[in-house]
Amino acid sequence: MLDPHVLLEPVSWGVIAVMAFASLVRSTVGFGEALIAMPLLVQLLPLPEAAAFVATAAFLVSLMILGQDWRSVRRRGLSGLVIASWLGVPVGFVLVALAPKPVVLLLLAGVILLFCGQRVLLPLLRRPAWSLQSDRWAPGFGFAAGILGGAYNTQGPPVVFFGALRGWTPREFRATIQAFALATIPVVIGGHWFQGRYNSRVLTMCLAAAPCSWLAVVVGRWLHLRIDAERFAHLVHLLLVIIAGLLIVRALQP
């Protein structure tokens, strides 16, 4: 059931604004939506509601983006990523159910910093880029993605890391990550539904956020075709580092 009165709450419009910005980033560079949205939304919503909202919104955004670039999907290795991630999702749900909220926040901050570190620090240190010569390691990255997806809706980093190691082009990045999300997020959504995390407030905000996210996807594609996506990605990583710092401060507060 939907509840229109939810849209009268300032918090709801804050949630929609966060999701629109996260969708813009994802459409522009191909990733980063959940990494941006989850840390901000847990400041506005209870963690279970934030996780359910982000999973549903991310699925819709992936569908919008893939509809534009489905021809660029990197099919080799995708099945290994997807199947292994299905096995990892239940592990993620168990992890987040057993861990206290400060631990969850610290782990999420750690995931963000690890992801940003390997994308930013290695080039600055002039280290040779890591690489993989085949897709045989895809299931390992997929399983890790499933754990993070079930726990924090942040299944993207292992897949982005795998794509970087395999030398995917920016367009392959953008399209393949959306294909992976469409195949795996329904499992995450099913887990949220089974645990009773969907209520009238979450469903209403998902519906209200859809038009804003669609507009953000259109603008993001326009930016993707006209700006240096790699430079923009570095700016996103800087923002993520700041968000991770705020999460750490919040987790350490009494």
**Helix %, strand %, coil % for the chain, to 5?**
80, 0, 20
Q: What is the pLDDT of residue 21?
A: 93
Q: What is the pLDDT of residue 99?
A: 77
pLDDT digits (tens, 9 = 90+) for 160-179: 878 877 878 777 888 888 89
Q: Is 197 left (phi over 0), alpha (psi -120 to 50) or beta?
A: alpha
Q: What is the pLDDT of residue 227?
A: 74
Q: What is the pLDDT of residue 16?
A: 93
Distance of CA 198 to the CA centre of its chain: 19
Write a three-state SS string for 30-67: CCCHHHHHHHHHCCCCCHHHHHHHHHHHHHHHHHHHHH
Do residues 88 and 146 make contact, with C-beta atoms less than 8 angstroms apart?
yes
Q: Phi then psi for 145, rounded to 5 degrees?
A: -65, -40
- Residues (pLDDT < 70) of the chain are 1, 118-130, 229-230, 233, 235, 254
* CA-closest candidate to residue 229, choices 175, 187, 171, 188: 171
Q: What is the pLDDT of residue 122?
A: 61
Question: CB neighbours of 30 closer than 8 A, spacing ≥ 6?
Answer: 65, 170, 173, 174, 175, 177, 178, 224, 229
Question: CB neighbours of 58 closer than 8 A, spacing ≥ 6?
Answer: 33, 34, 37, 153, 181, 185
Q: What is the pLDDT of residue 154?
A: 79
